[in-house]
Amino acid sequence: MSSEHSHPHITPIKIYLAVFATLIAGTWLTYWVAYKDFGWLNTPVAMAIAIVKAGVVVLYFMHVKWQSKLTMLYAAGGFVWLLTLFAFTLQDYFTRSWLPVYE
């Protein structure tokens, strides 16, 4: 328990640089795919790249990779909750058109 506090994890500079490179590459990739047309996959492709970038930031820059299981659980919990926000909001948007429209 106390070891977690007195010995904070020190990440080698190399890892930071690698993460930085990944993020820059991801940004270029986003830019590049923005000019391609994948049809309905356009948004999923852009989102997939963004998720990878966010994951790298959370794991390495925010040190979640080296934390206790409890911390990981909390970090994951935040994302699960974000998904519920999306899911329950979209159940409104996706079903609005189901209603008959009376003129």
- The residues binding other proteins (CB under 8 A) are 1, 70, 74, 77-78, 81, 84-85, 88-89, 91-96, 98-99
| Residue 68 beta carbon to other proteins: minimum distance, rounded to whole angstroms | 10
For residue 4 the two structure tokens come to 């977690």
* 86, 45 Cβ separation under 8 angstroms: no
| Residue 94 beta carbon to other proteins: minimum distance, rounded to whole angstroms | 8
| Cα–Cα nearest to 23, from 55, 46, 47 | 55
| Residue 95 beta carbon to other proteins: minimum distance, rounded to whole angstroms | 4
